[in-house]
Amino acid sequence: MDLELLKTTLDELGEPSYRFDQVWGWTAKGVAGYAEMGNVPLRVREELEAKVPFSSLELVHQQESQIDGTIKALFHTKDGRPVEAVLMRFLDGRRSLCLSSQSGCPLTCTFCATGSMKFGRNLTTSEILDQALHFRRMSEVDHVVFMGMGEPTMNIDNVLASIHRLPDVGVTHRRTAISTVGWLPGILRMIEEPLPIRLALSLHAPEDELRSQIMPVNERYPMEDVLDACRTYADKWNRDVFIEYVMLGGVNDQVWHAHQLGRLLDPKRFKVNLIPYNPTGSIYDASERSTIQAFRETVESYGLRTTVRVNRGRDIDGACGQLAAKALSDAA
């Protein structure tokens, strides 16, 4: 729902200021449309039906994984930009959303399918929220990670504005995470914001030369500057910063890389997530399972808590690094 258009329309109708909160409150609870908003006058609902589309996004296609129940949705914005979002359902009852902040991505990380797309634009606050609301209409949700299409810290104002409203949808700030490739101005902006959200840094290499090959953004914002900002963030909120590390066969997955990573990171501030690589048609291969295990054991020897992520939605191209490529090739 375009919240700016909603407010303008209600003002034009001469409605009291609390009417906006009523409409948003019903929307955030997951109702299917204006007709279900019982305490909103019928004439207002009819006007809104005619003037304010219930969603700022159009659902184009939706797939559900036959392996783990993950659901991936492809949307188009009103100007035809593709956007993908994912709902991950876990056996412990968690319902976690992976949301996009941009259509495409201007940063060309070499392992990521979204990075091979043409960049469209930043998403608005309403377009971000409408991804979450789409899945909220299916079930309750309780976690959000901004790890979908795009670099969220390049659109940090709209991302933070959407996060301010996520508790109404059912997701507290402490269960919300922003994953960044290391866009330093955005991280510094997060440090200033009074929100205890989780920060995750996509590192993917333990030294600058290799990281620049994998992630060209490192040329602009070198690793040590980014890690220093992450340390500041960890100290401010007394919360670990997650280090995301995608395992690329023969590239960044050797034991000596693990020793470098272990020496680089402070176990009091960082926790490491090792991510098995999902093939996206790029130049890389996935690491062997035994290689990942040896890497993990080496990193843990430095006192760092380390997990190997279980990828979800691989059969529907909904896993980490896969968003958008197949949808766009199918539509071409």
Task: Just list the catalytic residues.
Answer: 84, 320
Q: What does the alpha-carbon distance between residue 261 and residue 243 come to, in Å, rounded to a whole number? A: 10
Q: Which of 293, 294, 228, 299 is nearest to 267 (CA)?
A: 299
3, HSE (Cβ side, Cα atoms, 13 Å): 19
Q: Where are the alpha helices (DSSP H) in the chain?
A: 3-12, 18-28, 42-51, 125-136, 156-169, 184-192, 208-214, 217-220, 223-237, 255-264, 289-300, 325-331
Contacts by 227-231 with C-beta closer than 8 Å and gap 24+? 227/201, 227/264, 227/265, 229/184, 229/187, 229/188, 229/191, 230/187, 230/199, 230/201, 230/269, 230/270, 231/266, 231/269
Provide the phi-psi class of 148: left if phi over 0, else alpha when psi is between -120 and 50, else beta. beta
Instruction: List, in order, residues 6 or more apart from 241 with CB less than 8 Å away.
Output: 199, 200, 201, 230, 231, 233, 234, 269, 270, 271
For the chain, what's the residue count?
332
Instruction: Tokens for 63, please give them.
Output: 């797939």
Q: Which of 160, 133, 131 is nearest to 29 (CA)?
A: 133
Q: Where are the alpha helices (DSSP H) in 97-239?
A: 125-136, 156-169, 184-192, 208-214, 217-220, 223-237
Print burial letters for 198-212: b (CB count within 10 Å at least 16), e (below 16): bbbbbbbbbeeebbb
Instruction: Tokens for 205, please give them.
Output: 């290499």
